Structure 1
């Protein structure tokens, strides 16, 4: 079952006639962009086809990390660290944030060499990451019985609660004047004189000057209907949550075949870090060549298969008219079944490595669909082909951790700021 999201307070029910900015997608990046714009007194409307944060924004692991990110993605993560630390005060509500550290560990010299390589490549960024020995791992996370060759630890990494954060950000945005409407799918854009003039929804049209598309896994399909080819493919991450336990490990831990982090209620969020489901789609045929370099290095982490997801995806239209029912009305939320073989394997591996998890009881399980780009970096950019359209999507499983900065950068791009939060060059659409 999907995680239970804290509901937002007083979502709008009536579609406004006009606004300055429309944001398509009520995930955490779109909501953070809305909060940023509302704080700048820019009128903004968020349109979500289902419930806010109903897909990956509430189903992710809740990690906030710099460790093992691509070096050109680290500045966004560093900016997010500062914004996450201030988020509860900013929104006036608990988001479950804790700067509790993240520890990646390995069993083999090759795994440790990979961490060392990343560590060496980021020395100029002045991170607090450090290589650790097996003895130091036991000091950070005691009573282990796994045979670790070492690892890398970043004390300034952290965690937050996905089921709290998006709702808190949404409520703060509403309090500052943003309009958020759930169960209202955007079918397409309206244009006038060659640029965006509004959006056409299932409930009617809203006039606007700018549009931000933050649609996650749905962004490729939305853009494809407009003749824009966004290269993203789906992967599915399965997660389990245990009942509260009498274990007080502070850092989140990523091992080769499991990961875990503490939930605010005392339970643990656990996943199989060594394997993701990669359901085949028609897009694999269309985009295969763009993803070949990435697949050569990552194929061992992907469980590739042809199944229900393929047929469900095939049934959804790729082209439709503004007066037709869109795919986003037919599927309000992507809700894949959890792969209990993978999550069970992850829990078994964790039990074998830390004695405290021997009696862990599973409380619930879920899965979420992640949109992956060929280089695992998102796109946060204006689309030259459609003046007035900006996109913030393709976060490749990193969106929650970087969402405060990603949303602010997206807002900067929408308003064409001369001083964006960070250099947006790594996120240009033109790199594809």
Structure 2
């Protein structure tokens, strides 16, 4: 089941040419398209399914700097600035609220991680601070958990994944961007090693540049071109509650639960200490590159072997422009929510904050994230093909940094001064 998103009236016409084609209508691709259109550059966005149908509408909506690796913090700061003016920019409420984010530590052994991060970003003046158990009780009253402490960033916030991508898409359309749903791009057209167009299931569109912002699907698209982007899938299961009074407007992440207030008055809840890990062929091909991430995280991953693996193996990894692509086999990646993980989330949360006892659950869903070995995305040119840029591999952080990531991709496409230093995101680092 997928969350219901605000509608977008996309194009039914099929253009034969443009300047830039964006592959993928998630928040990063849409923001890049809007940025390019604001600069007077013609853009066509092609989406194999529907606008924001996958992780861009299924995430938690957190907009945070806290906990980001030091090289990624400048991107988060830039995204903060863009989120603050996004509603004005697109002419619609995207649900952005700067209400703060807090992480909790159950034991003293968990606190050094927060202390080390705070030291690593001390020069950036983020306003983050360590919390005592008394501080937590003051900021989030009514709790019964026993906490060693925590960390809190008051300037962090949230936006609504079911509102923001649609609002950005509608604003882009008003600026002249053509968005076409249910139109998969099979491959690139090349001339002398340079992009000359894209081949879709409906025909070819000539263009000068292509931005690949296809999230989970980017690895397979690039692999067909002989380009490697290491990403593996993880699944997050999510709960949406009915409107209710809650203990705080602050988004709270405990070791084994999280919650944040929604614009509709309910809460978004997850089991923060558990992610689904459906085994795929890629685990055999590149899994060793992730071993460092698993140290001390054995309980985090709920590994499964089932139809996801069979579906993955059955889909082609090489195809031609006249062949049906994997993106036509699966229009929308819609993994089922894990009922056991969601039940754990509610048990753990109600034990810590009894105010959530009796919560009415209105909706559950799951989303599949594309995780890189260093949890940083790849944003930049693909050296093998001139005129081809990638912005993928956001590792569950794409919504929060999406506005800045999309603008960075647009900057790199046009040769403009980058909004942040792109060096940490070079595809070649892999």
TM-score range, shorter chain: over 0.9
Secondary structure of 1:411's aligned partner: helix
Q: Is 1:87 paired with 2:90?
A: no
- Cα deviation, residue 394, structure 1: 0.1
- Cα deviation, residue 300, structure 1: 3.2
Contact 2:142 2:247 in 1 (8 A): no
Cα distance between partner residues in 1 of 2:219 and 2:411 = 22
- Superposed CA offset, 1:267-296 (max 9, x none): 110001001111111101110222222233
State the partner residue of 2:421. 423
Unaligned runs of 5+ in 2: none
- Cα deviation, residue 386, structure 1: 0.9
Q: Is 1:129 paired with 2:123?
A: no
Contact 2:28 2:406 in 1 (8 A): yes
Cα distance between partner residues in 2 of 1:248 and 1:165 = 25
- Cα deviation, residue 112, structure 1: 1.3
- Superposed CA offset, 1:244-269 (max 9, x none): 11225110000000000011111110
State the partner residue of 1:72. 71
- Cα deviation, residue 308, structure 1: 1.9
- Superposed CA offset, 1:319-365 (max 9, x none): 11101111111100000000010011011111011121011111110
State the partner residue of 1:27. 26
- Cα deviation, residue 52, structure 1: 0.5
- TM-score by length of structure 1 reads 0.98
State the partner residue of 1:4. 4
Secondary structure of 1:190's aligned partner: strand
Cα distance between partner residues in 2 of 1:51 and 1:97 = 23
- TM-score by length of structure 2 reads 0.99
State the partner residue of 1:366. 365
Alignment of 1:195-206 (within 5 A): 195-206=194-205
Cα distance between partner residues in 2 of 1:188 and 1:320 = 9
Cα distance between partner residues in 2 of 1:420 and 1:309 = 39
Cα distance between partner residues in 2 of 1:18 and 1:326 = 22
Cα distance between partner residues in 1 of 2:298 and 2:210 = 36
Cα distance between partner residues in 2 of 1:299 and 1:123 = 31
Cα distance between partner residues in 2 of 1:381 and 1:225 = 18
State the partner residue of 1:319. 318
Contact 2:141 2:247 in 1 (8 A): no
Alignment size in residue pairs: 430
Contact 2:257 2:270 in 1 (8 A): yes
Cα distance between partner residues in 2 of 1:334 and 1:288 = 21
Contact 2:140 2:247 in 1 (8 A): no
Unaligned runs of 5+ in 1: none
Cα distance between partner residues in 1 of 2:177 and 2:297 = 40
- Structure 1 runs of 4+ off > 4 angstroms? none
Cα distance between partner residues in 2 of 1:292 and 1:342 = 23
- Cα deviation, residue 297, structure 1: 4.7
